Amino acid sequence: MKRFWLRKPIQQQSFINICRAVGEDWKRIVDPTNSDATIDWDGAPNIWDFYGRTDELNKLQQWILQDHCRVVAILGMGGIGKTALAVKLAEQIQGEFEYFIWRSLRQTLSFESLLVEFISFFSHQQQTQGDLSQIVDFLCKHRCLVVLDELDTVFDSGHSVGHYSPGFEGYGELIRLVGERRNLKSCLVVISREEPREILALKGNRLPTRSLSLQGLGEAANEIFQERGLIYEPEQWQEMIQMYRGNPLALRILSTTIKDVFGGSVVEFLITIL
């Protein structure tokens, strides 16, 4: 450390450790002009409200950074906080990777379009043509964090769970190839209401493919009521959490309604609905 502050040469690993200790990305410091070319948050939402989830974040970080999982799925019902959790996770660990890219499939992005975007991003806009094998090879050679949000939008609701709509089967092939490749240095994180069939076939506690089924908030949901200035007793907010199964989105909407319609009184709201 003394040599570092005296601006004397130090070992690369020592420099990396110092940067991690102070929360800096060593790659940006070494080559600040290249950071934008290796980080792409396009489609990721800004997360202003985030509650609890410490255990879930720790587990996901362990899977990715320590256990070197190749595929990780974050699963759960709508509004439960899957995307928010993934954003916080990516913010915390993206500095451990050479490349980071986030893509939302909300607009039902075709797999061919996804490949074009991936190839353009990984080649620093030098190429636009390629195939899936090129992407997987790049993920083997470089340490990349790839996030696919709302994967369930490319599923066929008329078939069994995790079945892709016609023309979108390439997403399943991507998951399978990443999950099966032995020398892969990267991690693919998928966010979905349904578990893809490929992950069901590949996952295991000791295997490099795992899934986290996100449950509702517990006591952390109390922060939602406090932020909105609601008036309530402890047993009342417990009743509300159980009633809405700790769903953060449902509780935020409910809290706003109680504030606007019932003057912030949880008692008045409960009297009305019970």
Per residue in 171-213, pLDDT (tens digit) is 999 999 999 988 898 999 999 999 998 998 888 878 899 999 9
Confidence (pTM): 0.80
> Are residues 69 and 62 in contact, defined by beta-carbon separation less than 8 angstroms?
no
Evaluate if residue 8 carries a pLDDT over 70. no
Task: Report H helices in 181-221.
Answer: 197-202
Give the DSSP H/E element, type plus range, for residue 145: strand 144-149
Structure-model confidence comparison of residues 160 and 251, the more confident one: 251
List pLDDT tens digits, range 97-113: 999 999 999 888 889 99
Share of the chain above pLDDT 90, in %: 42
Q: What is the mean pLDDT of the chain?
A: 84
Reported as a pLDDT band with limits 50, 70 and 90, residue 32 is very low
Evaluate if residue 12 carries a pLDDT over 90. no
Res 33: pLDDT: 41
Please tell me whether residue 79 adopts helix, strand or coil conformation.
Answer: coil
Evaluate if residue 1 carries a pLDDT over 70. no
Q: In terms of Cα–Cα distance, which of 87, 84, 91, 90 is closest to 249?
A: 84
